[in-house]
Amino acid sequence: MRCVDVGISDQIESPHDIFVSPDGKAWYVSFFGANIIQKFDATTDIKSGELSLNATSWHSMAVSGDSKIGMAVHWDATGEVAFFNTQTMRLVSQDRKSTRLNSSHRT
């Protein structure tokens, strides 16, 4: 077992969710107290990417079966959803007022 530093500052950012990609090549971490999602190489545990989002408190994540698209939902009850390219760690789309995921923290 290894201890891996995550986050972007010395402040408490509260990692909230860790998700391993279906292909087993990467793992992702979201934060309650930061506006980022970080990607790490699953073999070396070295950070290989980072996505900045518009707000803090991103949590539950999923990655598509082909490991190319990631999704994170926001803590807020509005159901905000962010989709991102896992290869480039760039935002694909962000649905700020989703009616599909009301109270998304329960997903």
The pLDDT of residue 93 is 87
Q: Judge whether residue 107 has pLDDT over 60.
A: no
Please give the average per-residue pLDDT across 32-36, as a whole number.
83
Please give the average per-residue pLDDT across 4-10, as a whole number.
80
Of 27 and 32, which is predicted with more confidence? 27
Please give the average per-residue pLDDT across 23-35, as a whole number.
90
Contact criterion met (CB below 8 Å) for 83 and 69: yes
Please give the average per-residue pLDDT across 73-101, as a whole number.
79
Name the pLDDT band for 51 (thresholds 50, 70, 90). very high
Instruction: Report the distance separating Cα 107 and Cα 73, nearest Å.
Output: 9
The pLDDT of residue 3 is 83
Report residue 48 as tokens. Answer: 């290989």
Of 4 and 83, which is predicted with more confidence? 83
- Which amino acid makes up residue 10? D
Please give the average per-residue pLDDT across 28-56, as a whole number.
90
- Mind spelling out the 3-state secondary structure of 30-92? EECCCCEEEEEECCCCCEEEEEECCCCCEEEEEECCCCCEEEEEECCCCCCEEEEECCCCEEE
Contact criterion met (CB below 8 Å) for 49 and 93: no
Instruction: Look over the chain and give the mean of its residue pLDDT values, rounded to a whole number.
Output: 83
